[in-house]
Amino acid sequence: MHVTVDLKVLYFGTPVVLIGSRNPDGTANIAPMSSAWWLGHSCMLGLGNSGQTTANLLRERQCVLNLPSASMVDAVDRLALTTAAPVVPAHKAAIGYRYEPDKFAAAGLTEQAAELVAAPRVAQCPIQLECEVDAAHQFGGPEPHATAFQVRVVRAHVAQDLLVPGTHYVDPVRWDPLIMKFCEFFGGGDNVYPSRLAEGWQMPHQLRPTMA
């Protein structure tokens, strides 16, 4: 039996990505997002237009897609409700966003230089994809509020223990990506960590585990 509902969000479950980019002053920025899908050597990214990462990708045309494992959820959650934009948009401030100029320090992560692009890698992420922006498409209505970026992977870095020995294939059994479903963090099928983003968006609390 189905019921007709007005779903508030449509985040059914996609991998979390820490997007590395460069701010206008050259400092490093990393931002968590979970609207990404891959086909071949290309990836589509969906980002809100008010974010600093969107402005950085439009200006620099480069980024690194750092894929955290489920075990990195605490570091990812520390980046929730932060922005590298010095002026926090009113709609973000209303749900608790704050300006954070040093995202790496805030998350307890380590910046690592990329090889082909200027954007930063995250050393702790077991998969890092250096990318060039091929196209950007505004969408949303009645006024565009988001941008879909088409990016092309120009170099991939994968932790050796994730590879099938003797091949260039990632072992899907060993790879445990951090997944966001309806603003909640999942890994291995389990709800693995309380989400500040879900709290900011006033998502139902009964899904969140109690932290010891």
pLDDT in tens, 105-149: 999 999 999 999 999 999 999 999 999 999 999 998 888 999 999
Domain boundaries, the chain: 14-202
- pTM (predicted TM-score): 0.86
pLDDT above 70 covers a percentage of the chain that reads 91
Q: Cis omega before residue 194 (within 30°)?
A: no
Asked if 67 and 17 touch (Cβ cutoff 8 Å), the reply is yes
CA distances from 133 to 65, 193, 195 (A): 12, 32, 30
Classify the C-alpha dihedral 38-148-66-93 as positive or negative: negative
pLDDT in tens, 168-181: 999 988 999 998 87
For the domain 14-202, what is the CATH code? Answer: 2.30.110.10
